Amino acid sequence: MSPVNSPSNESPQSKAALPHVVILGAGPSGAGAAYQLVKKGRATVTVLEQRDTVGGNAGSFELDGVYCDFGSHRLHPVVEPEIMQDLRDLLGEKLLYQTRHGRIRLQGRWIHFPLKPMDLLFGLPKSFALRVLGDTARKVLPRDTSGPENFATVLERGLGRTICQEFYFPYARKLWGMDPSELAATAAKRRVSGSSVTKILRKVAKQIPGLKPESAGRFYYPRGGYGQISQCLFEAAQAGGADFKFGASFKEIDRDGNGIKAVRYELAGQEYTIPTQNVWSTIPMSFLVKGMRPEAPPEVVTAASHLSSRGMILIYLVLDQDQFSTFDAYYFPEESIPVSRLSEPKNFTSSTEPRGRTVLCAEVPSDPGRPEWDLSDDELGRRLCQWMERAGLPKPGRVARTVTRRLRFAYPIYTRDYEANFSTMDEWLGGVEGVLTFGRQGLFAHDNTHHTLAMSYAAVKCFSSEGKFDHALWAKYRKEFETHVVED
Give residue 12's pLDDT.
39
Confidence check: pLDDT of 37 > 80: yes
Measured CA to CA, the distance from residue 246 to residue 31 in angstroms comes to: 12
Average pLDDT of the segment spanning 384-413: 95
Taking residue 196's Cβ as centre, other Cβ atoms within 10 Å add up to 16
- Looking at per-residue pLDDT, the higher value among 313 and 1 belongs to 313
Confidence check: pLDDT of 484 > 90: no
The closest alpha carbon to 179, from 164, 189, 169, 167, belongs to 169
Contacts of 235 (CB under 8 A, 6+ apart): 90
Give residue 138's pLDDT.
78
At 146, the pLDDT band (50, 70, 90 cuts) reads low
Average pLDDT of the segment spanning 390-394: 94
Confidence check: pLDDT of 1 > 60: no
Q: Which residues pair with 361 in a beta bridge?
A: 316, 343
Judge contact between 228 and 57, C-beta under 8 A: no
At 10, the pLDDT band (50, 70, 90 cuts) reads very low
Give residue 316's pLDDT.
98
Average pLDDT of the segment spanning 411-427: 95
At 198, the pLDDT band (50, 70, 90 cuts) reads low
The closest alpha carbon to 54, from 280, 231, 265, 283, belongs to 231
Give residue 220's pLDDT.
98
- Looking at per-residue pLDDT, the higher value among 223 and 193 belongs to 223
Q: What are φ and ψ of residue 147, in 5° steps?
A: -75, 170
Residue 348 identity (one-letter amino acid): F
